[in-house]
Structure 1
């Protein structure tokens, strides 16, 4: 079964602070996937869903297809953004992996360093799944975007 998406529209809350009232769409899904195979499949669904918006999402300043894995909340966020990674296109895709979030709570580990190591390793899995899929996606290859991945914020993103 594919992901079910809900859509919220409104100005980007971070943009409002600097006076940008551009209307944005956030497409959100919540998954209970438990095993890596299911999570991998759901990540691919998120990527494909995001790719389906590229014809609307690419603007004159678009440069990057940015994939962010939030290690604290197990949320995958995909946006198209500019050179400075500051101005996002109007459509974003987010998916929270609820079971993964519960599995990687710090209190589930013997120490903070064990937790940090585990979430870093899992983020590397997500990065690999994204890279593997995008490298073979004919739909993605039609666009001149550079795919980036981050688990530590936009400034720390790396090429896929």
Structure 2
């Protein structure tokens, strides 16, 4: 399929910079930073959040080494779920997760629009849905936690 006009790499990268700036100025981004600031001022939420990140990383390691049906994995999964429950008792943690989810949804939607627009022109493949806010090692605040079936 021939394209009507040629666009050089510099123009594409400039447009990407402009898109990134628009995302930085979005309501979703402002909400995220506001919620993160509140979260950082809550020592209990921060402690639980840090513990959750460590447990989640350990959980992934156990899953990869032992499988999801192994007793050690199941025990650590329960500990991780318990941490989520304790974290969700803190209103700023809920606000933080909601803000992360909204920002991540915006980023995912932008990627989906780009892929959809290229679909008929280029052989693009949709990879696995990745968390756009930290690799989802728990560092994202769990925006992938719910979608992972945990």
TM-score, normalised via structure 2 length: 0.32
Which one has the bigger helix percentage?
2
| Structure with more relative contact order (C-alpha pairs < 8 Å, separation 6 or more) | 2
Which one has the bigger strand percentage?
1
TM-score, normalised via structure 1 length: 0.30
